[in-house]
Amino acid sequence: MLYGLNRRSLNVIIFVSMVAIVWINLRHSDETSILEPLDLAPLPSQSWQTITTQENVPVRWQTLRSDQLTIAISGEDNYRLHLSVPATNWAVALKDAIPGLPASRPAGIAMQGPLTAGEMTMAAAWLISHLQLHAPGQKTEQSPDQHQELGARQACQTSYPAGAHWWNDRAGAGWATPASPDAAAAGPDNRQWADFRQAATRMLRQDWMSANRIIDIQSELAYHRWPENYLQALYADLGVAQPDSAMLYSACLNSVSGRIEH
């Protein structure tokens, strides 16, 4: 019994309490409800070929009607090289265009132009030799366990690409970078995830449709050794994945680290 309160005061308290209960339930419902899939137009397919080099440096190339041979290289420590040379005299032009003081590093290469498969292979071999490039993720000082963990971490990222991209976005890293979750951070709520996936899918589509950006994307895919369809898989996963994808990816990595350590 609430002594000292008249009927009008009791009615006000009951009404306010009911409003509070409804608000709490709505808030809880909003946080646990399933987000509707995004209505995403599929990304158009593109035809890229691969070259197997003696040094195991990953190379991707595409035949393109152009008077230029365009080259993009992605490497360790955010190394980027993007240049175009005349296709008719590409061998001589490359020697003039490439930096004269190369630094040995793991990297991936992408090339576009009107060259034949044989010419693309020759161009890739020259670039690898002159720039002293070597295979990414295959350092001699890595132990077998480190190689195993690298493969397992990549498996987590290909299983939860949208969740991995959430952590990359928080860290200011590109979508192709192997993601490292913040152990102290909580996962996204529905509102954060909804805003994130809208912005992320819009940006991925813009990049994929950009004639200038696509070759850089291919060099990033090559360097990180992602499957050829990784960006398309990320784009599609963002359309359907729920906010728990970020924590599922984090849990997958924790599971991998635990297995390797033991």
H or E element in which residue 133 lies: strand 133-134
Q: What is the pLDDT of residue 28?
A: 44
Q: Which residue type sits at 226?
A: W
* pLDDT tens-place string over residues 70-98: 999 999 988 999 999 999 999 999 999 98
Q: Which amino acid is located at 194 in the chain?
A: A
Q: Which stretches of the chain drop beneath a pLDDT of 70?
A: 1-32, 101, 138-147, 257-262
Torsion of CA 8, 13, 16, 18, to 10 degrees: -110
Helix (H) or strand (E) holding 74: strand 68-75
pLDDT of 256 reads: 77
Prediction pTM value: 0.81
**If phi over 0 gives left and psi between -120 and 50 gives alpha, with beta otherwise, what is residue 209?**
alpha
Ordered by start, the domain boundaries in the chain are 49-134, 144-261
Report pLDDT for 99.
75
Residue 173: strand pairing partners:
none
Helix H segments across the chain?
Answer: 7-32, 90-97, 117-131, 144-159, 161-171, 190-209, 214-223, 230-240, 245-261
pLDDT of 194 = 97
